């Protein structure tokens, strides 16, 4: 399962960061999950809690930012906001879109105790 693998890498990064900071417990994890990322946020958070349950990040609260999608339309010659991955240009209906933002998934920061 895609989300489980992502959750494992997120939790590993969070735990490594917490360890380096000498933290006993992670209280909050902030994630950026682009609007076009092929990830189900609910499934990802469920998997994170599952993967983290025996570590320093157990019980952490997750906050998910959804950075907006941006794509360059080769027809309109400007940045547009596609509604979804694989969607056409909202202005001209064309499919010549070059995705510039919205596919990213990363940990923004964590709070520790
Ligand atoms: Zn267009």
- As a whole number of angstroms, the distance between CA 40 and CA 33 comes to 9
C-alpha closest to that of 46 among 85, 11, 12: 11
Q: What is the CATH number of domain 2-68+102-112?
A: 3.30.2320.50
| Residue-level pLDDT at 84 | 87
Percent helix, percent strand, percent coil in the chain, to nearest 5: 25, 30, 45
| Residue 1: pLDDT over 70 | no
What's the 88 CA to ligand 1 centre distance in angstroms? 8
Sheet of 105-112: strand order equals 61-65, 26-33, 105-112
C-alpha closest to that of 75 among 61, 96, 60: 96
What's the 32 CA to ligand 1 centre distance in angstroms? 26
What's the 54 CA to ligand 1 centre distance in angstroms? 49
| Residue-level pLDDT at 56 | 96
Ligand 1 ion local residues (Cβ < 5 A): 73, 75-76, 89, 91-92, 94
What's the 98 CA to ligand 1 centre distance in angstroms? 11
Q: Which residues contact 21 (CB under 8 A, 6 or more apart)?
A: 112
| Residue-level pLDDT at 38 | 86
Q: Which residue has the tokens 């995705």?
A: 99
What's the 80 CA to ligand 1 centre distance in angstroms? 7
Q: Which residues contact 13 (CB under 8 A, 6 or more apart)?
A: 107
Chain segment 21-39, per-residue pLDDT in tens = 999 999 999 999 999 998 9
């Amino acid at each position: 399962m895609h989300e489980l693998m992502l959750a494992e890498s997120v939790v590993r990064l969070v735990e490594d960061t917490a360890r380096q900071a000498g933290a006993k417990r992670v209280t909050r994890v902030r994630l950026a999950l682009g609007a076009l990322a092929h990830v189900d946020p609910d499934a990802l958070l469920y998997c994170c809690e599952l993967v983290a349950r025996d570590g320093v990040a157990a019980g952490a609260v997750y906050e998910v930012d959804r950075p907006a999608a941006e794509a360059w339309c080769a027809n309109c010659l400007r940045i547009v906001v596609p509604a979804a991955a694989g969607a056409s240009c909202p202005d001209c209906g064309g499919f010549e879109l070059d995705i510039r933002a919205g596919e990213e998934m990363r940990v923004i920061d964590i709070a520790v105790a």
